[in-house]
Amino acid sequence: MMLRDAGEAVPPLAGQLAAKGYGIVDAVGTELDPVPAAIAGGWVVDLALVSPGLSASPELPGIAARLRVAWPRLPLVCLPEAAAVPGLPSLSRDMSLSEICERLDDLMLAAAEMRAEAERLHWMATGFAARVRQARLGLGHAVADAQRLLAEVRRLPGKGGPDDGLS
């Protein structure tokens, strides 16, 4: 996804990346809702590129927050001409197109691995929670059974008196 200010033209890098096979969706930052209409049709967003104008905008933190609600752990990367933004990786001006593609691929792969690990941990936690619920239910049944058996033993003639150690 190419994020830019409304007053900016689509950066030339978008066309170069599209020619290399990257699916590029242009999104104007100030009009961006959590799920832009251009990609509401089920696209997977692997990366958001931040334009020079948007990198200097005071609206960038809010836009980044909205995007990360829709796509947790979405990498945002500043284009080569963009101002440095604390916490965001940026592409260097002296990188070739091949180097830019390699860097973007590395970032997308790392994000995909984090998503896969987060999903794996989520399913593990779900499994553990289910086992804990089953164990609690089993423990509840075991306690009820023990109480029932103890009550039955106490009712037996000659059993369960104060001197036999069962009470």
Task: Give the right CATH number for 2-116 from 2.60.40.420, 3.40.50.2300, 3.40.50.150, 3.30.465.10.
Answer: 3.40.50.2300
Of 104, 107, 5, nearest in space to 50 by CA: 5
Spatial distance between the Cα atoms of 9 and 99, rounded to a whole number of angstroms = 23
Query: Is the separation of the CB atoms in 109 and 81 below 8 Å?
Result: no
pLDDT of residue 34: 47
**Residues 6+ away with beta carbon under 8 Å from 9:** none
User: In a structure prediction context, what are the per-residue pLDDT tens digits for the chain, which is 167 residues long?
Assistant: 788 887 888 888 888 888 888 877 777 765 665 455 555 556 667 888 888 888 888 888 888 888 877 777 788 889 888 888 888 888 888 999 899 999 988 988 888 888 788 888 888 888 888 888 888 777 777 888 888 888 888 887 765 555 555 55
Of 100, 105, 51, 40, nearest in space to 78 by CA: 51
Where do we find the tokens 């896969």?
116
pTM here is 0.62
